Each structure stands twice: as structure tokens, then as C-alpha cells.
Amino acid sequence: MQFSQTSRVGGAGLLALAATYGIGRQAYGLFVPTFREEFGLSLDVLGFYASAAQAGYLVTTVVAGVLAARFGPRVPVVSGCLLLAVGAAVTASAPGPILLAVGVIVAGTSAGGAWGPFSDAVDNQVPSSGGQRALALVNAGSPVGLVVASVLVLAAGDRWRAAWLGFAVVGLVAASAAWRVVSPAPVRSSPDHGRPRLGWFFNPRTVRLLIVALGVSITSGAYFAYAPDTAQDAGLASWTGPAMWATLGLAGASVGSFGGGFADRYGLRGPLAVMLVLLGGSTLMLLVAPGSLAVALGSAALFGVGFTTGFALVAIWSQQVFHDRPTTGFTLVIVFIAVGFIVGPSLFGVLAAGIDRSVALGAATIPALLAALVRPSRDDRPEPGAQASSSRHE
């Protein structure tokens, strides 16, 4: 069977993000109750573990941008998938909190090698007409990874270490697929061969994008780290966390892969604002009725749609703003996303441990709701029905 270049590159990106994002960064929350019990760790310590993983991801993101510019996108993508495999294997074998922290941090760090370089892979390998679809497919890898993680956790039962060994296998499979599909060629040169000036990175167009990226990631970071633990702490069964993540992943993948179509048909502003409101609202649902299974699953479904589609729209917005240097620009966006994922879990953990979990949940909703008020500049609002990818660098 012959697959189009859009499907091949988008599919490889989906698998890479399923491993590094859906598993490496976002599956951690599934194990917070287990780690609390087995290793005697408090919520704030586990929050710092999650934030340290995001800090490692921040460093890897910057390194990946440099590697992609020099060696092409294949090197950082394959390296990121292999980092996930190593981190998951260390976590599976951890005898105590120190090696557990090392494994979790390495696994979380892995995502820095995957997302940004795929901006260049799509720009270089996919026809312009398929660019938005390919980016949406790549972005859908995150919820797909959560479904895979949830299935492995449910299948493993109390043997949580077996689930992490399964994660390591997924990382190896993703690395193999990326090696076969992603081009090893360096990125195409920009018409301006000089380094971009500070004003290229920070100007009225980019600041709006970066504020939204930061706001949505603070709320998302808190949700991913603590939503399953919040539901189980309210008295729900231990399988509730995997069920929430499976629901989140299925809802996110089923809707998020159409993010490019939403942008083409309705523009960026309206759909993005709706997705950010869904993120904030889904977090509030856990505050209103934390002991209800229906509410927990509904919250996860709404969050999955908002998170996956929202970040797909952010990626498309980034392509609009940084069309001449897609990976360089998107790397900056990812840096702000990483900062938000560092702040979110730590802030939630400190507020939950020091004051009250309800206060922490309420605080976690605010950044996404504030970000929903930020509009893209007029230059970055594709007209409904227009192909936003037409403005990309040809």
C-alpha cells in the first residue's frame, strides 16, 4: 500500500509524539498515586519531579533546535525516542526515589527532541497543500500515546514496572519509524542567511503567541500531573486514572487531528478561544464534583479535545508567525510551553500541600482562561476557507 508523503511524515510524527509526549511527558500523572504509596513521596515532591522533567525537556528543546538546523530533523527525533526508551527502562527498574527521579526526568526530557524538528520535516518533505494536515497528525500523537499508556497500565494492573518496560518498547519502535521516514538532510536555508535579530523573536505578533503558549501550558501541566490523583483522592477506584487518560486520548485524537481543518474553515481566533475555555472548564469540573466518575471522565474528554486541538492550532499559528524559519520559531514557542509545564505542576503541588487541593484546582484554571482573551494579530488570522499554509515559506 502506498502512503502519501503527508501521511508518512505525519504518521511518523504521530508515533514519535505518542512515545515522547503522550508517554514520556503526560503519562506520569497515572503513576502519582502509586509512587506516593510505594516510595512514600508527598505531592509537592512529586510535583517537583514533574517540573524537573519539564526543565530537562526545556534544555533538550533548545539542543534539538540546534541539531535540526545543522544535521536535519532525523537526529533529534530519533534521539528523543531513544531517550524515552532509556528513561522508561530506568523507571521500571528503580529501587528507590533517586533512580525513580532520574528515570522520570529522562523520560520527560525525551519530548524535546520530537515536536520542534517536525516543523522542518513537514516544511521540507510535505507538499504545501498537505502541511496543516501533517502538523495536525503529528500533534495527535500526544493523545494517542495516552491511550497506549492507559492500555498498558490497565493490562499491567499492580505490576506498574511492566507498564514502564512497555513504554520503553514503544520508544524503540518510534525511533525505528523516525529513522526510516524523517529526512536526514539539513533544513533548507532561509533567504536571509544571517542570524535572526532579537526583534524577530519578540515583537507584537510573537508576544501574543508566546503568552497563549505559556498560559495553556501552565493549566495543562497541572492537569496532567494531578488529575488522576485528584479523582482517586476523592474516593474513586484506582482504575479511574487510566480510564480518564484513555478517554482523554480518544477524545483528543478523534477531534485534534482535524485542527488543521478547523483553522482552514474558521480561522485561528474562534477555535483557539473555544479550546482554551474547554481546558479551563475541564479543570473546574474536578473542583465542582471530584467524587463523580461521570464528571471525571467528562472532564478528561473535554480536556483531551481542548488540549490536542488547542496545541494543534498553536502549532499552525507558529507556522504563520515564523514561516521563514519554522523550527527556530517553534523552538521558541516550545520553550514557553516548557516553562508553563514547569510552573504548573510545582504551583499545584505547593498549593495543594500547603493550602488546599480545591484552591490549587481553581488557580490552575486561570492561565488558560486568561489566554483565551488574547487574539492573534491580523497578519496571523487566516480568513475562513483560506489555506493558512499558503503563507508558509515555499
pLDDT of residue 352: 77
CA distances from 98 to 51, 73, 104, 225, 374 (A): 15, 33, 10, 19, 41
User: CB within 8 A of 168, min separation 6: which ones?
Assistant: 84, 85, 86, 88, 89, 92
Q: Over the stretch 1-19, which tens digit does the pLDDT of each residue have?
A: 556 777 788 888 889 999 9
How far is Cα 131 from Cα 51, in angstroms, rounded to an integer? 32
Q: How confident is the model at residue 187 (pLDDT cuts 50, 70, 90)?
A: low
CA geometry: angle 205, 281, 211, nearest 5 deg: 20
pLDDT of residue 2: 59
- Higher-confidence residue: 260 or 289? 289
Q: Over the stretch 20-58, which tens digit does the pLDDT of each residue have?
A: 988 888 788 788 888 888 898 887 888 888 888 878 888
Would you say 103 and 92 are in contact if contact means Cβ atoms under 8 Å apart? yes
* 206: alpha, beta or left? (left if phi > 0; alpha if psi -120 to 50): alpha
pLDDT of residue 357: 76
pLDDT of residue 262: 66
State the average pLDDT over residues 309-314.
85
| Most confident residue range from 66-70, 251-255, 282-286, 343-347 | 282-286
Does the pLDDT at position 321 exceed 80?
yes
- Higher-confidence residue: 180 or 330? 180
How far is Cα 274 from Cα 174, in angstroms, rounded to an integer? 32
pLDDT of residue 318: 85
Q: How confident is the model at residue 259 (pLDDT cuts 50, 70, 90)?
A: low
- Higher-confidence residue: 137 or 297? 297
pLDDT of residue 390: 34
Does the pLDDT at position 386 exceed 70?
no
Q: Would you mind telling me the total number of residues written for the chain in this entry?
A: 394
Q: Over the stretch 116-175, which tens digit does the pLDDT of each residue have?
A: 787 778 777 777 767 667 777 787 787 888 888 888 888 888 889 999 999 999 999 999
| Most confident residue range from 79-83, 240-244, 346-350, 363-367 | 79-83
Tell me which DSSP letter residue 355 carries.
T
**Residue 298 burial class via C-beta count within 10 angstroms: exposed 0-12, middle 13-18, buried 19 and up:** middle
pLDDT of residue 381: 52
Domains of the chain: 5-187+198-391 (1.20.1250.20)
State the average pLDDT over residues 53-82.
86
pLDDT of residue 260: 59
State the average pLDDT over residues 322-347.
81
pLDDT of residue 297: 93
Mean pLDDT rounded to a whole number for the chain = 82
> What residue has cell string 535540526?
68
pLDDT of residue 45: 86
How far is Cα 111 from Cα 79, in angstroms, rounded to an integer? 10
DSSP string covering 99-143: HHHHHHHHHHHGGGGTTTHHHHHHHHHS-GGGHHHHHHHHHTHHH
User: pTM surpassing 0.75?
Assistant: no
For residue 262 the three cell numbers come to 478547523
State the average pLDDT over residues 185-200.
63
